[in-house]
Amino acid sequence: MKKLSKILCLVLALSLCFCFASCTGTQGNETTTAGNADDVTYTVGICQLVQHAALDEATQGFKDALTEKLGDKVTFDYQNASGENTNCTTICTKFVSDGVDLIMANATGALAAAAAATSEIPVVGTSITDYASALGITDWTGATGFNVTGASDLAPLDQQAAVVKELIPDAKTVGILYCSTESNSKYQADTITPHFEALGLEVKLYTFVDSNDIISVATQASTECDVIYTPTDNQVASNAEAINNVLEPAGIPLVAGDTGTCEKAGIAVLGIDYYDIGFVAGEMAYEILVNGADAATMEIKTAAEVSKMYVPERCELLGIEVPEGYASISE
């Protein structure tokens, strides 16, 4: 009887131990889970096509948005492709193999490379004019339908055409100068052309492949046109000073699609703030990383505001009278 009593006591003790271990284990798991949630960190790969003012500002805005919300819980692997699409491919492929949590693609070449590199890791673009053109989407609905979303840098093209006519009212011919390898630039050229024509301007297209032929193309344009328009174009932005060295001595004004190009070569721009669209992209990235938003269904966002800006010194040099409503680009 005593032996049976001892056995029962032993069984009871063991049961209590298992019960206690089970309870403390569950609590331990809950504590660990909560601790893990608090300690979650994110790695974001940034692929920027080329270094110039507009893209640099977009990258900074993106980083600031995420850092503002996540502090030291987010780290960035920033890579610059030096204007080479093949470098974008190499960079994005490495991001995938490294297992980053999200890829930020700054400019069209970077976006195309990121989209080709992964269908699983979310991709957030910025400084992209038209996502449908950049990604080859024919049935555009406002969202891509796959793991890519982002912010667009497109200012209204009808209003950009109106700026050209407003500042150069006597112009008869406008030349559109852009890089033929940038699909977004072609999209802008094709889209703005009928707006120019509706204003009574003859349109001539001047395309170049890279920096090796941009001077000769700009020179030709300066002899055949009254005014030059450049869309948001990375090659144009990177070579804006060289373009200005051709156009300014010839007395030909340039209206730019972005503020960085305008500062170095233009008289005016209907501009957006690239820092702002980078910041918008960063906020979108936060929603994906932290709140589980689906990039496939997130509609592309645009800048909240556009502004008419001008370069006083260049306008004065070229004899351009600027009406009210334009802010100095240097302010």
Distance, in Å, from the CA atom of 318 to the CA atom of 308, rounded to the nearest integer, reads 18
Question: In Å, what is the CA distance from 280 to each residue of 69, 216, 277?
Answer: 13, 38, 5
The token pair at 65 is 């948005």
What would the mean pLDDT of 76-85 be, rounded to a whole number? Answer: 96
The token pair at 174 is 């406008």
Computed over every residue of the chain, the mean pLDDT equals 89
Domain architecture of the chain: domains with CATH = 42-153+274-299 (3.40.50.2300), 157-271+307-328 (3.40.50.2300)
* DSSP-derived secondary structure for 97-163: HHT-SEEEEESHHHHHHHHHH-SSS-EEEEEES-HHHHHT-SS--SS-SSSEEEEE-PPPHHHHHHH
pLDDT, tens digit, 9 for 90 and up, residues 189-219: 999 999 999 999 999 999 999 889 999 999 9
Element (H, E) at 79: strand 74-80
Distance, in Å, from the CA atom of 183 to the CA atom of 145, rounded to the nearest integer, reads 20
Alpha carbon dihedral 49, 105, 258, 234, in 10-degree steps, equals 20
pLDDT, tens digit, 9 for 90 and up, residues 20-56: 344 433 333 333 333 345 689 999 999 999 998 889 9
pLDDT, tens digit, 9 for 90 and up, residues 206-264: 999 988 999 999 999 999 999 999 999 989 999 999 999 999 999 999 999 998 899 99
| CB 235 within 8 Å of CB 109 | no
pLDDT, tens digit, 9 for 90 and up, residues 264-294: 999 999 988 899 999 999 999 999 999 999 9
Distance, in Å, from the CA atom of 204 to the CA atom of 224, rounded to the nearest integer, reads 9
Element (H, E) at 170: none
What would the mean pLDDT of 297-315 be, rounded to a whole number? Answer: 92
pTM: 0.74
| CB 58 within 8 Å of CB 90 | no
| CB 133 within 8 Å of CB 109 | no
Distance, in Å, from the CA atom of 320 to the CA atom of 266, rounded to the nearest integer, reads 12
Distance, in Å, from the CA atom of 93 to the CA atom of 176, rounded to the nearest integer, reads 35
Element (H, E) at 171: none
Question: In Å, what is the CA distance from 144 to each residue of 115, 190, 296?
Answer: 11, 22, 6
Question: In Å, what is the CA distance from 146 to each residue of 97, 122, 295?
Answer: 20, 9, 7
- Closest to 271 measured CA to CA, from 286, 262, 259, 285: 259
> Please, which residues have CB within 8 angstroms of residue 165's CB and are 6 or more apart in sequence?
171, 199, 201
